[in-house]
Structure formats: C-alpha cells, structure tokens
Amino acid sequence: MAKQINVALIGNPNTGKTSVFNALTGLNQKVGNYPGITVEKKEGICKLPKGLKAHIIDLPGTYSLNASSLDESVVIELLLNQQHKDFPDVAVVVTDVENLKRNLLLYTQIKDLEIPTILAINMADRMTYKGIQLDIPYLEKELQTKIALISTRKNKGIDHLKELITNYKALSTQACLEASEIDKPYFEGLQKAFPNQLLYKLWLVITQDVNFGTLERQDIDAIQDFKTKSKADLKRLQQKETIKRYQFINNTLKKGQTIDLSSAKDLRIKLDRILTHKVFGYLIFFGILMLIFQAIYDWAELPMEFIDGAFASLSEWVKASLPSGAFTDLVAEGVIPGIGGVVIFIPQIAFLFLFISILEETGYMSRVVFLMDKIMRRFGLSGKSVVPLMSGTACAIPAIMATRNIENWKERLITILVTPFTTCAARLPVYLIIIALVIPEGTLFGLSYKALTLMLLYLIGFVTAVLSAKLLNNILNIKSKSYFVVEMPNYKLPLFKNVALTVIEKTKSFVFGAGKIILAISIVLWFLASYGPGDQFNNAEEIITIEYANQNVSEDDLQQKIAAHKLEHSFIGITGRAIEPVIKPLGYDWKIGIALISSFAAREVFVGTLATIYSVGSDDEDTIKNRMAKEKHPVLGTPLFNLASGISLLLFYAFAMQCMSTLAIVKRETNSWKWPLYQLVIMTAFAYIVALIAYQVLK
Amino acid sequence: MHITLADIKRGEKGIILDVSSEEIPFKLLEMGCLPGNPVELLQVAPFADPMYLNINGTHLAIRKDTAKHILIELSDG
C-alpha cells in the first residue's frame, strides 16, 4: 500500500477553501459527521507525485484558533491532539489574495503550533484586476513557509500545491513570531511548569471557553493552577496577542505586498449599490424567491411525472414477468412504490439546493443577511436567521445546524424553534399531490392556481415561523448580548464544480438518508397491509362471496370488494380504524390516518404509504395520483380528496411537527429534551385545530 | 474630534482609537477592528442599522449597538 499522509485544509470562511478541496479531491470525497456532534466532516483522497497519497480533511472555516462555536472547536480539537488519527502531517492554510492581511492571523497561529504549514494564496487570478503584487520569496522567508499561488477558478497552481504537499518534510516548523512577548513573566512561568508542552498549546487550552465538545480535558485540568489570571485579564492579554500578530502581519505585508489602488477595479461597490439598496434590494430578493418557487413547482413537474409513470410501469412489468406469489407482490407493491416515493423528490431537492448554493457561492446571501437584520430583529430573530429559514425550505436539519453562526443565544434558540414551520422539501410531495388532486385549473396574473396555492403554503409557513418567533421573543426570558458580525465577501461567479458537487452531495444524502427509512417503512407497511389476524381477514373471500351471492356483481368487482375487505381487517386496517375517530372531524379516513402515523418517521412517507396501501390488492397498475383520485369517501361516496379534506390536510402538514430527525437535531443543538418536546406538542396541537376549522368551514 | 462608529455617515472614513473589549465580540477584534486601523462606512440598511463597513480592508456588517462601543476619529477623504 502506498504511504498516505494526512493533510488538513484550514482557512477563514469565504477564502475558497472548499474549492481547493474540490480541486484536490474531485469526486473522491465523502461528507460525514464528526462523531457525537453534527459538524460536517469533509474528507477525500488526492493522488500526489511519487506514488504518494494524501488523505485530505476540509476543516470548518474559522477566523482564528479562538473557538466561539462548535464548528471552530473541531479545528482546535484536531490540531491540539497529536494522537488523533487525522492529526495532520502538513497543514495547508488557504487564504484569499484580497484579504491576505486578515487571513494571515490564523496562519500565524497555526505556525505557533509547530505543524509543517503551507500557505496557499487563492484567487490569484484577481491580482492584476485588483492591482496587487506579491514578493513571494520575501513572504516565504518572513512567514517561514512555502507559498502556492493558486486559482481554483482558472485551475492554476494546484499541481504546485500538490508538489509542496509531497515535499512537506522540507517545511519549516518554526513559529514566525514570538507571541509570548506580550507578557513575558507569565509565559516563562507557564513554560517552567510544563517544560514538555508547547507554550502556545498551553495558552490555547487556558483561554478557550470550555463549553465545547470533547477537547482533551486532562490538559486543562492539569494547568488549573495557572488559571490565576481573571477572565478579564485573559481577555486583555488575548487582545494584546491579536494586536501583536497584526503588527507582525502589517510589517511583513508592507514589504511583501504592493497594492496599486488606481488600477483596482471594484465591482463590489456597483453591485452593492443596487443589491443592498433600500428599495431595489428588497425587490430583487423577493424576485429571486419567486423564481425559486416557480422552478420548484413548474420546472420540476415534468421530470417528476416521468418518474412517477416510470415506477408505475416498472411495477406492472415486475408483476407480469415474475411468477406470481408473495415475493413478487412484495416487490411490485411494497419495494418499487417505496423507492418511487423517494426518487420522485430528486428534481425538486436538486433545484432547491442549486439555488441555495448559487446564492451562497456568489456572496449574495450575506447581503440578504444585511438587508433583513433590522426587520428580523423586530421578531426576535437575527439577519442570520434568514439563511436557516431559507435552508429550511430544503430540510430543517441542515437549517437548524446553520443557526450555529448566530452569536446571540436567544436569537439562535428562537430560530431553531421556529425553523420547522418553514416548508421543507419533505412536505413538498405531500403538497404537490394534494394540490394536483383538489385545486382546480385556472390562472391568476399568469400564475396557475396550483402554483399560487403552493406559494401560499410557503408563505403561510414563513409567516407562522416569524409570528411564533415574535411570540417566543415576548415569552422567553433570556438575557444575552446582541452580537452580530457578518462578513460581506466579494461577489464571485459561482464555480460550476462547487455548485454541482453541493447539489449532488445534498441530494445523495437525502436519497440515501431519508430513502432508507422510507423504503423500510414501505416494506413494513406492505406486510401489515397484506396480513391480518382473525376470521375477518383470513376468510374474507368466503364472507364477501356469501354477502354478494344474490346480487349481480361482476367477477372483477367481487375481487376488488374482497381486497378492500382484507385491507380493512389487516393489521394496518385495524390500527387505522382505531385512530379514525380522532381524525374523522378533519375529513380523513383510516387510510390517511395510517399515512399520518407513518409520517412521523418522515413526512414524505405520506405519498409512499398511500401508494403502498392503495396498490395492495389492486390489479390495475396506475400512477399514485390516479389511485388517490379514485378513492371514495366510505360514507358519502364522494371523492375522498376534495377541496375541504385537501385543504385540511395541507394545513395539517404545514404546521404539525412530524419529523423525528428534526426533533433529534433540536435536542442535540439545544442540549435538552425540553425544546423538542414543546415543538412536538404545541405544533401538532396547533395543526390539528387549524385543520379541524378548515374542514368544518369548507365542507 | 472623538465620536463613536455609530455616529458616522455613509462614505465617511475614520481611524479606530479605542474599542471596549468587554462590549464587543472578540471575533470582531480578530477581523481587524483594533486601535489604529482605518474604517469606512460603505452602506447602511434601512434605519441605519446594521452598518456595512470596511475595517482594515475587511468588509463586514455589524449592528449599531456594537458600533457604539468603538471610538473613532474622523479622517479626511
């Protein structure tokens, strides 16, 4: 086996670190989680010259080694723990040529850890455009490193970077400045007490807030004696340290970098003038939102219909070609509709992530944060809540994780609590199929009624989220400082590779993550629907034949009546009918009841469940939609899915907390069962009441 | 004249004189909000809050509440 070296990519946010990662690893990457926490862990393999292989970790973006969030603490945890299996043989600090001054702060800290470090200066293609010149040999000497000037956009310098990684043993491990000069007696004493430890490491352990994760605590406890300085003193010392580092960086760049401002062109100013304008800024943002909804509804419709049809024919084909029996039935009625119920969401999820990743990549998202902050603050939220609330339209789980960069705990908690109201992708299939069934054709202002209904549902979700935020803001009594710092990155054309990889990655994790659950539930449902206890189920054929013996019923009708009778007395039918009294006032029958119950595993299971239930025992293979349209109300004989029951269902799904994974994530992020339980009970009760009113008024 | 960062108008520039480190997040210091560094107000959201600044070459937005704790001196140009 070829020797493999560990490489850590470290850098500030917005330096194109992920582009460098993508350029090095291509499709040889996987995204997982750090054990025990929900921080995303990206790693990949890169082939190097001389038969070497590099295992590359893309660490979360951080401004410094002073952790203020869980994501940042991951970086420190890895860099402080030499025993860690991912401990880097070499660190690559990725910087943006236009923000070198600030980006170098982190670099000087990494150097203090005496890890071999390469400085990658990214976006080098913009240097002439910005009038920037660098004296590389001088910078390499002062910063005690090797520099790779790269441009992921133009695909330049990557080979040079690989070469530097290959020769990592030649890199200096010297720190580039003496940070301990800020308080000599203190640091000398510290070193004397722990002669075998790296001074900067000790300093980091002392100054870090200790409320994160699994950082090796023995070290901290061992130097308890040295926590003699008060918190304020330590903070002052940290400030001195930062100033000292900046002095060094300023001096270095004074000689190593020249910027000719007269030749610099700035697109930022022109674009900002429009995009953050008091009127146009909001109009443009609203326009973009409209475009996204139009895309999700209209553009995705064709591929979705195709997928729906394809799976229906596949079922039919399986039934026709395989010998009939329980196994064929399981495949045709359980497995295939189950998989179909997952695959059908791919077009919409892909569109959603496409837009979100383009907005992030271009730097536009930060402008939205800026524009929305003051408005959101009125509701107890932050401008930064916009990103979770928008990502919430994909899935509440990443959205709740995205709240981590909200500095203020109260604003963050409120964002977490209300995000599940935004319309996630899992609700979309439920909405789409019910809208298709109950909303009439027709257009208003060039938009179809169906598209308008969908938009209205998104709006309801968002408005409910914001209003409940306002309510929570008044109820919750949490004092916390209103911190808000958001970087406004340069505008960039999105890199196709980055966008494509994000879309593929997120879609894949949805299909395989949610897909497993959906498939498993589909199979379980099929079993529960195909078997039952007692005489009513086992002797269904006899019972029905006798019942209709004197009536003129065709053979086909008889078969269908037998199937229906069997389903009603199967395990699932019994369960469904047990809860029917509770949901009857909302206009649902026991079949919908089963779908509601299974939705607690994941909302999107709804469609798959109905597909499975309706296809059990029915011979004619049909699309899910047509089957649902054929369902009749057991008493009234009118279509089961009509305007009243449809709207009631839509509203129930809009408000109810029906996602176990979201509850688990909320528990993890708030570190308490209290908040997820509140969400479950309050949201679901609210949903029930609203759905009840809607059905009773409309019926 | 000594004023706080919350008082400057769009397009005005200044030099940071002092920051009260208890009141502002450490992250802001690390991003270059330190005494001696230049600052310029580029854009404000409605109600002049938050403020979109260029501090020492870094473009960022902060709230007025935070800007109140940063003492500056106006400079020309």
Closest residue of B to A484, CA-based?
B62
The fold for domain A1-265 equals: Rossmann fold (3.40.50)
Average the pLDDT over A247-260 and give the result. 90
User: What is the residue whose two structure tokens read 């479950």?
Assistant: A680
What percent of chain A clears pLDDT 90, i.e. is strictly above it? 30
Q: Which residues of A touch B27 (CB under 8 A)?
A: 63-64, 66, 68, 407, 485
Beta bridge partners of B51: B44, B62
Q: Which of A468, A466, A469 is nearest to A458 (CA)?
A: A466
DSSP secondary structure letter of residue A333: I
pLDDT tens string A76-127: 888 888 888 889 999 999 999 989 999 999 999 999 999 999 999 999 988 8
Give the contacts of A589 (CB within 8 A, at least 6 positions apart): A576, A580, A633, A634, A640
The answer to whether the CB atoms of A485 and B47 lie below 8 A apart is no
DSSP per-residue codes, A271-300? HHHHHT-TTHHHHHHHHHHHHHHHIIIIIT
Which tens digits make up the pLDDT trace of A378-396? Answer: 998 999 898 888 878 877 8
Report which secondary-structure segment, H or E, holds A206: helix A199-207
Predicted TM-score of the model (pTM): 0.79
Mean predicted confidence (pLDDT) in A325-350? 80
Which residue did the predictor score with more confidence, A637 or A316?
A316
A363 pLDDT higher than 70: yes
For A370, the closest of B27, B35, B52 (CB atoms) is B52
Cα angle vertex A499, ends A498, A500, to 5°?
Answer: 95
Q: Which has the closest alpha carbon to B66: A179, A259, A482, A604?
A: A482
B66 touches chain A (CB under 8 A): yes
Residue A214: the pLDDT is 43
Inter-chain CB proximity A239 and B31 less than 8 Å: no
Cβ count near A550 (within 10 Å): 7
- Range among A159-168, A301-310, A508-517, A627-636 rated most confident: A159-168
With CA atoms as reference, report the closest residue to A355 among A387, A381, A382. A387
- To 10 degrees, the CA torsion angle through A498, A500, A505, A508? 180
Pick the more confident residue, A367 or A443.
A367
> How much is the average pLDDT of A614-625?
61
Write down the CATH number for the domain with range B2-75. 2.30.30.90
User: Is B2's Cβ below 8 Å from some Cβ in A?
Assistant: no
* Average pLDDT score over residue span A177-182: 86
How far B10 CA lies from chain A's nearest CA (Å)? 12
B contact test, residue of A73, A97, A102 with most B CBs within 10 A: A102
Total residues found in chain A within this entry: 699
Kindly report, residue by residue over A526-537, the tens digit of the pLDDT: 888 888 888 888
* Residue-range domain boundaries for chain B: 2-75
- Would you say residue A216 has pLDDT above 50? no
Give the residue, B19 or A37, on which the prediction is more confident: B19
With cut-offs at 50, 70 and 90, classify the pLDDT of residue A222.
low
Q: How confident is the model at residue A215 (pLDDT cuts 50, 70, 90)?
A: very low
Closest alpha carbon within chain A to B34: A243
B67 touches chain A (CB under 8 A): no
Distance from CA of B75 to the nearest CA of A (A): 19
**Residue A628 predicted with pLDDT over 90:** no
With b meaning 16 or more CB within 10 Å and e meaning fewer, what string describes A590-600? bbbbbbbbbbb
Residue B70 φ/ψ, nearest 5 degrees: -115, 115
Domain limits, chain A:
1-265, 280-428+445-475, 515-698
Give the residue from chain B lying closest to A483, CA to CA: B25
B48–A contact, CB cutoff 8 A: no
Band of residue A408 on the pLDDT scale cut at 50, 70, 90: confident
Q: pLDDT tens-digit profile of A409-463?
A: 889 999 999 999 998 877 887 888 889 888 888 888 877 888 889 889 988 999 9
Q: How far does the CA of residue B49 sit from the closest CA of chain A (Å)?
A: 6
Let me know: does A469 contact A414? Beta carbons within 8 Å.
yes
Gap between the Cα atoms of B6 and A678, Å rounded: 39
Q: Quick one: how far is CA A591 from the chain centroid?
A: 32
Q: Which residues of A touch B (CB under 8 A)?
A: 63-64, 66, 68, 99, 101-102, 105, 232, 235-236, 238-239, 242-243, 246, 268-269, 272-273, 276, 278, 366, 369-371, 373-374, 383, 407, 481-490
The size of chain B, in residues, is: 77
Segment among A68-72, A348-352, A671-675, B8-12 with least mean pLDDT: A68-72
| Two structure tokens written together for A536 | 């009513």
CB contacts of B32 in chain A (<8 Å) are 101-102, 246
What is the reported pLDDT for A244? 92
Q: Rounded to a whole number, what is the distance in angstroms from the first to the last CA of chain A?
A: 70
Answer for the pair B33, B55: CB distance below 8 angstroms, yes or no: yes
Q: Are the beta carbons of B15 and B73 closer than 8 angstroms?
A: yes
The verdict on a CB contact (< 8 Å) between A101 and B63 is no
Which carries the bigger pLDDT value, residue A521 or residue A306?
A306
